[in-house]
Structures are given as C-alpha cells and as structure tokens.
Chains A and B, each alone.
Chain A
Amino acid sequence: MTPVQQMATPAATVRTPSGRRGRPGEPRRVAYLYILPAVAVFGLFILYPLIRTAQFSLYEWDGLGASSWVGLANYQAVFSEPQLRGAFVHALVLIVFYAVVPVTLGLLLAATMSRALLRGLGFFRVVLFLPQVIPMVVVAIAWRQIYEPEGPLNDLLRFVGLDSLARPWLGDYAWALPSVGIVGTWVGTGLCLVLFLAGMARIPRELYEAARLDGAGPLREFVAITLPSVRGELAVALTLTVIAALKTFDLVYVMTSGGPGTETTVPSYQVYNNAFLLGRVGTATALAIVLTAVVFVVTVVINRIGERGQR
C-alpha cells in the first residue's frame, strides 16, 4: 500500500532533464539536517541499546557485581532450559489463539457476510475494533474478573447446568494458558473481521457472477476469488496478531504473573523475570535477542507471502 512508483505528472515538463527526481536548485545536503534528529534518537535509543543487548547476552551478570564472559552459553540455556524453552512453546500456543483463530474466524465470517451489502456497518466497525484500543492492563483486569471463581463465566456455566466445568480458570494448570489465549482471541477477532470486510467490499460483484455462471460453488469462489483478493489484508492481520502474540507481556504480568507454576510464562515475561527478579541479565538479553530474531523472521515471511501475487 506504500506508493513507490514515480508518476509522470504534468509537472514533468517543468523539470529539467538532468535530475531524475531533483528539481533545479533542490537542496540535497540539507537533507542530512532534516534526518539528523531521527537518526540521533534512532541511534541512541534503538541501535545502541540493541548492540548493547547483544553484547550483554555473551556475559553472565547479576546486574550489580562483576560480569564474566560466557560466550554463547546463555543462548544454549535459552534452547535447553525447560523453563525458557517452555516460554516459547507457550508463545506458539498463544499464536493459535491470537492469530490463527481470529484470522480464520474473520475470513469465514467476512466471506459469508460480504455476499450481502450491509448498511450501518460503521457502528459495528467501531464496536468490533474497540478491544484494539483499550489499554491491555484494563483488558487484563476485566478478564480477571470474568475468570474469577464466582465470576460471570462460572455463573454462566452453572446457569446452563455445566457445574462440573466451572473452575478458577487462571489458577488451573491445564486451563490458565488457554484462558489467557482467549483474551487474545477477543482482542484480535474484531480487527480481522473489520480488515477482511473492508477488503472484500472492494471485490467487483461481476467476478462472483462470472464464477457462478461457470458453475463454481461457494468453496471454489472463496479459494479462487475471495482469498487472493484479500491477500494484503491477510498479511496485515497476520503480522499484527502474530507479533502481538509473540510480544504478550502486560496480559500475563497482570493476569497470572506466569503462573500457576510456570504454565503461562512467555518470552517477554521471562526477559523481565530473568533480568530484574532473578538477576540473570545475560540470560534475559539472550532471550530478548532470540525473540527479536523470531519477530524479524515472522514479519519478513508473512509479508513475502502477502506480496506474492500482488503486483
């Protein structure tokens, strides 16, 4: 969606033939002054700390005393210590709840709904999108209340006669992680639905009519027309939701603090926990570097898939 091409505008006639993009007397050196503040804050508060993080990850340090060089031992710990590896496994589970379920649900719902042109979509769009803007800490507090032993969820289960299912959701070893995940589903589904409805509204009706004349069923229609048309939206939805799952922190910090036991620890939480509560700065930074690498790879792969077929 980023416009990249240089359009040949009527102004082209005014331009001198020499500069491809430049106008006569266009300042070039001054550009460095314009980007100086951005480069400065980027260098000081992103690039330098990132390099320092990588450096820290090669040492063992408790945050106070002397540090000692340990090479890649911290990375070895990230991949071998069950607690740290577990955090990434939990993140994978969260991706299912944060990304796979909302995207699938959003695609199916939008596809069935976009057959009819709906009025009054504006109101629903505002409401469905609302979970995206509420501070995560507030979301966590609301859902903690829902999951309380005497909270609305258990009330509902008892009301419909499923008393045996009622439980303290966030204190349950098997159910704590899915319970956190459901909150991610709640946050992401509206976003996906809004995105896909917008994307599908742009598909020309004639395409479907032509497909139907050719005898295509609803499934063929979906695979051959709908899905390719919303490829861009699909990439955006997946990027936003998968990254949100990988970077989950506030929700876990407020709802469970990683518990019960270590059932709901996630990479971000372990970074915080190791650096500031356990005094394992090296381990924490190694974990942060691995998380960054995962975020990079995921973003690039998703956007590659999104761009393919879109010219």
Chain B
Amino acid sequence: MISRGERIANYAVLALFAAIALFPVLLILQTALSNDAIVSDGPASSFNFQNFADAWDQGHFASYMRTSVVVAILVVGLSTVISVLAGYAFGTMSFRGSEVIFYLILLGIMVPAEALVVALYFDLRALGLTNTLVAIVMPQVAQSTAFGTFWMRAYFRTSSREVVEAAHIDGAGHWRTLWQVLVPMGRPAVTTMVVLVFMWTWNEFLIPLIMATSENLRTAPLGLAFFQGQYTSGTALLAAGATLVALPVVVVYLFLQRHFIRGMVEGAVK
C-alpha cells in the first residue's frame, strides 16, 4: 500500500534531521582534532590529539573532570539509595500521611533550582558551607530524590504481589525482601533512574556555578564555561575541552540509550 518512493522520502527526511543533529557535534570534534593549537610540539598529523593533552593539563580539565566524577558518584549513590528506600515504603506499605507526604515530594520535582539556590547560598554561607562538596552535592541529591522516589514508587507498585508474598512466607523480613528480591528484579527501573540522574548531575550548571566559589571545586561544565571566557571560540583547545566534558555522558548514552529514551518518554522531567 505504501509506495517505494514514499519509503525513500521518509528515509531522506530522517537522514536530513540526523545530519542536522550531528552537525554541531562533528564541528566540535573536527575543531578539536585540527591543527591550530598555539604551541604544537608533536609531529603534525591529520588527527591531532595534542589538543586533548593540552586541555587536560594546561586547561585544568583533569581537575574539573575529577570534581565532576566525585560529585556524580555522590549524587547518584545517595539519591539512588534514598529513592529506593522511600519508593519501597510509598509503593508497598500503607501508613498515615503517605499520600500527603508523597505528593509534597512530587511537587519538589517541579521546583526549579533557581528558586532554591539563592536562599541556599546565603544560608550556607552563614554556616561556612559554600565552596564545599556538601553545597554542590546535597541540593542535587534532593532534586534527584524527588524524581527517584516518584520513579521507584511506580516500580514497586507494579512489582508482583506473589513474589513479595513468597518471600514473606520464606521468612524474609521487609528489609531482605527489598534488597534480595525486589531490587534485583527491578534492575531495569533502577538502571533507568541511575542513568538519568547521572546525566542531570554531570550536565548541571547553575548549582555548581553558585556554590563553587573557587576554582578547585569547579565541575567540568563550569570549568568549560570559564575556559571559553578566556579563549575566543573556534579554537582547537576550547573544542578539545568541550569534547572531554561531553564524552562521559555521551559514552554512557551510547551504551544505555534505551534507558535514556525510555526515561524521557515516560515523562522524567527535571
């Protein structure tokens, strides 16, 4: 019923949009590999990886990336455990006030960081806590927990009652049922949550911008933004830095793209 021509036209449209989506990415990659570095000691080749080494050392990206890795591990680790615990309670147990508390936390998903960071900055400054990991990590843990609790509750509500019942009859308490039965069974749901929280944390800009007041705690996107303020755009060094910053999240995306897309499709808003 569908003509051959129509099918080809569809692929052409898809290819066009794919090309548009890829163009800025390839432009940065090409610039990063180009040979216009200020000083280039290495042998000239068509692929110049010297820019990455320069960005890593001279551009301080080693330090920025290290901070980002630490922040990401803390935010993902803490918010995952907290969300699983809370989602389990909201999804499988009945207790007074559960509805009200859950919907209050759900509202937390909608609160933009802008409405938190200004007051938080001044209150943390009074406590001497600005420019610490706590200031950068905890607001993000809270935001990710709001989403994670919602996400895990949905999983626990669908989890099979029979399985829980069986674990119960086998003498497993609520704690063992959670960690030895439900969490292993819910690996896909947990993985989706983890990759989304990782992406949001890695890409977060406003919170570290305000909380990290000195260079030693700059995360990768933040370091990159300050770096580009010093160099004119289009230079190989800046593009190399941009590539380094994007690389971890793009690699994770390529391996776990189903989880990213499913998460967004199912309405993971941040």
Q: Using a CB–CB distance below 8 Å, which chain A residues touch chain B?
A: 1-4, 9-12, 14, 19-23, 26-32, 34-35, 37-39, 41-42, 44-47, 49-50, 52-53, 55-56, 63, 109, 112-113, 115-118, 121, 124-139, 141-146, 148, 151-152, 186, 189-191, 193-195, 198, 233, 235-236, 239-240, 243, 246-247, 249-250, 253-254, 267-268, 271-272, 275-276, 281, 284-285, 288-289, 291-292, 295-296, 299
Q: Does B225 contact A (CB under 8 A)?
A: yes
Contact B118 A134 (CB under 8 A): no
Q: How far is the CA of A257 from the CA of B249 in the complex (A)?
A: 26
Contacts of B146 in A (CB 8 A): 42, 46
Across-interface contacts of B257 in A (CB, < 8 A) = 125-126, 129
- Tell me the dominant secondary structure on chain A's binding face: helix
- Assess A249 versus B205: contact at CB under 8 Å? Given A145-B234, A148-B233: yes
Docked complex Cα distance between A253 and B222 (Å): 11
Q: How many A-B residue pairs have CB under 8 A?
A: 307
Cβ-based interface call for B70 (8 A): no
B98 sits at the interface (CB 8 A): yes
Known: A14-B165, A42-B105. A49 touches B24 (CB 8 A): no
Asked if B83 is an interface residue, CB under 8 A from chain A, the answer is yes
Asked if B242 and A288 sit within 8 Å, CB to CB, the answer is no
Contact (Cβ within 8 A) A141 B93: no
Distance of A179 from chain B, by nearest CB (Å):
13
Whole-angstrom CA separation of A193 from B14 in the bound complex: 10
Contact B245 A137 (CB under 8 A): yes
Q: Is B44's beta carbon under 8 Å from chain A?
A: no
The complex places the Cα of A250 from the Cα of B208 at a distance, in Å, of: 12
Name B's A-contacting residues (CB within 8 A). 2, 6-7, 10-11, 13-15, 17-18, 20-22, 24-25, 27-28, 31, 81-83, 85-86, 88-90, 93-95, 98, 101, 104-105, 107-108, 110-123, 138-139, 141-143, 145-146, 149, 154, 157-158, 160-162, 164-165, 168, 174, 199, 202-203, 205-206, 209-210, 220-222, 224-225, 228, 233-234, 238-239, 242-243, 245-246, 249-250, 253-254, 257, 260-261, 264-267, 269
Q: Closest residue of chain A to B166, judged by CB?
A: A11
Residues of the B chain whose Cβ atoms lie less than 8 Å from the Cβ of A288: 112, 114-115, 118
Q: Quick one: which of A117, A139, A249 contacts B24, CB cutoff 8 A? A: A139
Alpha-carbon separation in the docked complex, A145 to B139 (Å)? 33
Picked from A30, A35, A56, A233, the residue with its CB within 8 Å of the CB of B118 is A56
Q: List 6 A-B contacts (CB under 8 A).
A: A11-B162, A127-B18, A137-B203, A146-B24, A186-B24, A272-B206
Whether the Cβ atoms of A27 and B93 lie closer than 8 Å is yes
